[in-house]
Structure 1
């Protein structure tokens, strides 16, 4: 089966980029033909192509149509649907807030996948996607890469902030303060501090406690570290056996971050650390987050969508054209606002340059 996967970018090491990489590798290992499309290519695209998986930034480079489109991010998903006019699609929602995660509406999108309950609510209650078209498929971890660490110490000694947005202007100072109060050595791994790592699995085993959310939190839990949920959006609990099922269904994400971002809150969560509980959390996580299980479910879903599309009465060109018209009407204000912002920035830059030149000229005259 030829599976075309789309994504808004394949440059930085973000969650959706790495999701694409890991799925594409899983499909290839099963004997399928994954193809990856993104208009912005970079480090992650190079990793995917190094595994002999085709990666393109223009769809006309693909000579044979895919059998199904795995659509991540609405602009790229709709681009693929229009380029391949007789191919069904599955649309994915990976987040509650990103604009790119808005679900596109189109006759050939037959299913929508939410990676947690929060995303499911976004599809169901903010965008009117019918419940029967939504499938909940929780996030995964490549367990071959993220292997268990040695047993945790009775008291944590080394901590890590594992987040691309961690910086002095976000949640890093509060975490640093909390760790200093408890005598914990702290490191940071993420894009904002220019410390992103292509092999985080080799780093995580060095730490007893990790501050993370989402995919990063799941990877740390799979390795066996204790995890406090934390991001610029707020603080969540230390992940324990008692809360694990609830937090897993939320992808250890934004809905779990209900506490204010203060050193006092973080200190309290760190103080809940229990090595045995953390190791039991890791054991349970490893039993439920396998990438291979998700690959199996997705391949089954793709086959079902192909069969449903082949057996159904096809939507006419009019229906697809009206869907595109509705999409353009929806996206137009965003494009216009961006264009206006660029115009204002240019105008400000010109005015600033003129003022500087005038000031310099007057100083020369004096």
Structure 2
């Protein structure tokens, strides 16, 4: 089948961009024709183009008419829907608070999907969707890339902060202090810290302990690292066999980050390191978050929606002109900031620091 994926950005290795990359490659390997529409192209888009996957910011440059649209991000989806008016859509939310993930309605959207129950709440509690109309399809770990290491140390020796959102001015100093006090070496990777890593699967096995959230946390667990859910929003805590199901329901993300990431709180979580627990968590993640199984589920969804659309089924939620105008209003500020972040990263970091100071003072 011909599949068109939308994503606001295909520029670097962040959550949805990595999701799109892995999904597009696997669907192509399974014999489907995949193209990607985005507003911002970068190195990641070029990497996909070199693999034969068309990534474009101009809908007129698409080579095929899609049978199904796998839509991320509202304004990218709206743009595509105005161009392909007779194509079914499956619409995903990956984030509870992002303006780009503010859900919208359209008669061509036959299925709405959330990556966790936090995002499902955004549909239902905040925007009036019925619970039965929202399916949860969890994030995955690609175990062909992120392989379980052979040896898990009884005590943590090396730790990694695996995040695009942390740096020396944002939580990392507290993590570093906690690790140093416990005699643990600490490193950081991610775009904001100036140390991006395009192939984390090649280095994760070196670390006993990883501070991460969402997809990064899942990937770290798949390699046999102890994971403490932590990011700029706060501290979630150590993932254990007793909480892993609950943590997965909320994508190892913001809903869990109820603690302050102070040095003492971090030390308390680090001391929960237990090699037998790590093995149990890793085995659970490898089994329950299998990449190939999730892609197979998506293939089933695509096939069902194409058939339903041909049989004249339409979505339960219709759009209006004023709703769509509201979407553009909601995302305008985020769209400008995204452009600054991608084109002028130093200016973006400066503006972010100024905004933080402003918030503290007022």
TM-score where L is the length of structure 2: 0.89
Output aligned runs, 1:231-310, within 5 Å. Answer: 231-310=231-310
Taking the aligned partners of 2:27 and 2:102, their CA distance within structure 1 comes to 26
Alignment partners' CA distance in 2, 1:304 and 1:211: 39
Please give the alpha-carbon distance, in whole angstroms, between the structure 1 residues aligned to 2:131 and 2:120: 9
Which residue pairs with 1:220 in the alignment? Answer: 220
Give the match for residue 186 of structure 1: 186
Structure 1 Cα separation of the partners of residues 333 and 201 of structure 2: 42
- Residue in structure 2 matched with residue 363 of structure 1 by the alignment: none
CA offset at residue 314 of structure 1? 6.2
**2:355 maps to what in 1?**
none
Structure 1 CA distance for aligned equivalents of residues 130 and 256 of structure 2: 25
Cα 1:176/1:109, change in 2 over 3 Å: same
Alignment of 1:7-86 (within 5 A): 7-86=7-86
CA distance in 1, matches of 2:29, 2:247: 30
Q: Distance in 1 between matches of 2:211 and 2:109?
A: 37
Indicate if the aligned counterparts of 2:159 and 2:207 stay in contact, CA closer than 8 A.
yes
How far apart in 2 are the matches of 1:255 and 1:161?
Answer: 20
State the structure with bigger RCO (CA 8 A, min sep 6), 1 or 2: 2
Question: Residue 333 and residue 275 in structure 1: after superposition, are their counterparts in 2 closer, same or farther (change >3 A)?
Answer: closer
Aligned to 1:354: none
Cα 1:336–1:41 change in 2 (3 A) is: closer
Query: Relative to 1, partners in 2 of residues 1:211 and 1:219: Cα closer, same or farther, differing over 3 Å?
Result: same
Encode CA deviations 1:154-180: one digit per residue, 9 max, x unaligned.
110000000001112211011011011
State how far apart, in whole Å, the 1-side matches of 2:330 and 2:91 are.
23
Query: Can you list the C-alpha shifts for 1:316-345, whole angstroms capped at 9, x where unaligned?
Result: xxx97x624421144336648989xxxxxx
Gapped regions of structure 1 (runs ≥ 5): 340-366
Find the residue that maps to 1:193 and give its secondary structure. coil
Provide the C-alpha distance between the structure 1 equivalents of 2:85 and 2:258, rounded to a whole number of angstroms: 44
Looking at structure 1, the residues matched to 335 and 183 of structure 2 have their Cα atoms a distance apart, in angstroms, of: 46
For 2:139 and 2:218, the matched residues in 1 are separated by 8
**CA RMSD for the aligned pairs?**
1.9
CA distance, structure 1, for counterparts of residue 334 and residue 39 of structure 2: 21
- State the Cα deviation string for residues 215-268 of structure 1 (Å, max 9, x = none): 000000000011111101111121111111111111111111111110000000
Q: Cα–Cα, structure 1 residues 83 and 187, in superposed 2: closer, same or farther, change >3 Å?
A: same
Instruction: Give the distance between the partners of 1:221 and 1:18, measured in 2 at CA.
Output: 17
Deviations 1:138-162 (A, max 9, x none): 0001110001112211110000000
Any conservation in 2 of the 1:27–1:34 contact (CA below 8 Å)?
A: yes
Answer yes or no: is the 8 Å Cα contact 1:151–1:279 preserved in 2: no
Please say if residues 171 and 261 of structure 1, whose CA atoms lie closer than 8 Å, have aligned partners that are also in contact: yes
What residue number does 1:348 align with? none
CA–CA separation in structure 1 for the residues paired with 2:107 and 2:282: 42
1:212 deviates by 0.5
Return the alpha-carbon distance in structure 2 between the equivalents of residues 130 and 310 of structure 1: 24
Q: 2:320 aligns with which of 323, 327, 346?
A: 323
Secondary structure, in 3 states, of the residue corresponding to 1:187?
A: strand
In structure 2, list runs of 5 or more residues that go unmatched. 337-362
1:152 counterpart = 2:152: yes
The whole-number CA distance in structure 1 between the counterparts of 2:176 and 2:36 is 39
Give me the TM-score of the superposition, normalised by structure 1.
Answer: 0.88
Whichever of the two has the greater Rg, that structure is 1
The equivalent residue for 1:127 is 127
What residue number does 2:329 align with? 332
Residue 31 to residue 57, structure 1, CA distance change in 2 (3 Å): same
Q: Cα–Cα, structure 1 residues 126 and 241, in superposed 2: closer, same or farther, change >3 Å?
A: same
User: 3-state SS of the aligned residue for 2:9?
Assistant: coil
Question: How far apart, in 2, do the equivalents of 1:192 and 1:125 lie?
Answer: 32
Judge conservation of contact 1:110–1:133 (CA < 8 Å) in 2.
Answer: no
* Distance apart, 1:50 and its partner CA: 2.2
Using the TM superposition, give the Cα deviation of residue 47 of structure 1 relative to its aligned residue in structure 2, in angstroms.
2.0
Q: What is the aligned residue count? A: 336
Shift of 1:274: 0.5
